[in-house]
Amino acid sequence: MNNATAHDAELGSKNTAYAFVFGAVIVVGLPLNAVALWILLRRHSHKSPSAVFMVNLAISDLFLAISLPWRVYFYATGIWPLGAMACNFVTMLFRNNIRSSSIFITFISVDRLLAVVYPLRSRHIRTASNALKATAIVWISVVLINIPESVYLLKDLRSVNESICFDYFGKIKLSPSPIFYVQPVLVLTLLLINILSTLLVSFTIRRHVSVSAKVENKVNVMLIFAMNLMMFMIFFLPISLVALFRNFPQVITPLLCLASINCCLDPLLYYFSFDGFWKRTEEGDVAYRKLDRVVFL
């Protein structure tokens, strides 16, 4: 009986910590991304492909932040009163953030790569119109992946009598499906692309003086690549690998808490991408466009 009581107390303290982390992400991430999205749409949205990708990244982060109150309620109370369908919907919003964010961050890295390494040859590719088409394909693909995932998850959730929702890891035997390999393979592939992009840009800036002279704010450019790699290594890769092997269900929720923090850091990416992002005035737009043409277009 004492062991059971101690276990319940430990579980309660863990759930309280999970609720606190998710709540903190809401408090920080929701207003930051809402303001970032407003600034991007008002001043940058149609000026470069990177801005288009950042708008969609901010939207993805807002979807994540909006889904987190339900997780806070679940871990604070231990109750999920909304049924399997609502649990599935909130779960898919979280998964979609990891997938769409990793893709949009990679798009930003590739866009920087083309701008620095192939500035002239890539001009006809690097347009806001093409960026909009690419982001539309991403959202459609992410939703299509949700369909078979939702079928399997709903089946598993309805196989148990209790409404365990987000706490189902290790409590139910998940239905085997190739669809569960999509996220780990996607994240690993995108991580490799980001590593190669970082190396190529770094090599170009260091070795080719003519290119380096044209790229203003070189530190900011490399910092963007470093931040993108950090996002993958810290936030996206651990949860994707653990979800793939499913041998450590006890670390799933802590890694989900860690992954959710990514939406609080993405506004830093916008700041370093656009000089004076938070304080730009209308009079400074001319200078911005000049910088954007040199570095990003």
The CA distances from residue 5 to 15, 208, 251, 283, in Å, are 15, 66, 22, 64
- Among residues 10, 14, 24, the alpha carbon closest in space to that of 166 is found at 14
Kindly list the domain boundaries of the chain, sorted by start residue.
2-295
272/58 Cα distance (integer angstroms): 15
Phi, psi at residue 43, to the nearest 5°?
-120, -20
pLDDT at 30 (0 to 100): 96
Mean pLDDT of 225-235: 92
Q: Which residue matches tokens 């649990």? A: 87
The CA distances from residue 242 to 3, 15, 149, 237, 249, in Å, are 28, 20, 17, 9, 8
What letters, b where the CB count within 10 A reaches 16 and e where it falls short, cover 174-205? Answer: eeeeeebebbbebbbebbebbbebbebbbebb
- Among residues 104, 17, 108, the alpha carbon closest in space to that of 63 is found at 104
pLDDT at 172 (0 to 100): 60
> So what's the architecture of 2-295 in CATH?
Up-down Bundle (1.20)
Mean pLDDT of 29-52: 87
173/175 Cα distance (integer angstroms): 6
Longest dimension (CA), the chain: 74
Would you state the structure tokens that stand for residue 130, as one six-digit string? 């093409």
pLDDT tier at 96, thresholds 50, 70, 90: very high
Least confident of 227-231, 259-263, 293-297: 293-297
The CA distances from residue 1 to 8, 78, 164, 204, in Å, are 11, 21, 23, 65
Would you state the structure tokens that stand for residue 241, as one six-digit string? 């690998």
pLDDT at 297 (0 to 100): 44
pLDDT tier at 283, thresholds 50, 70, 90: very low
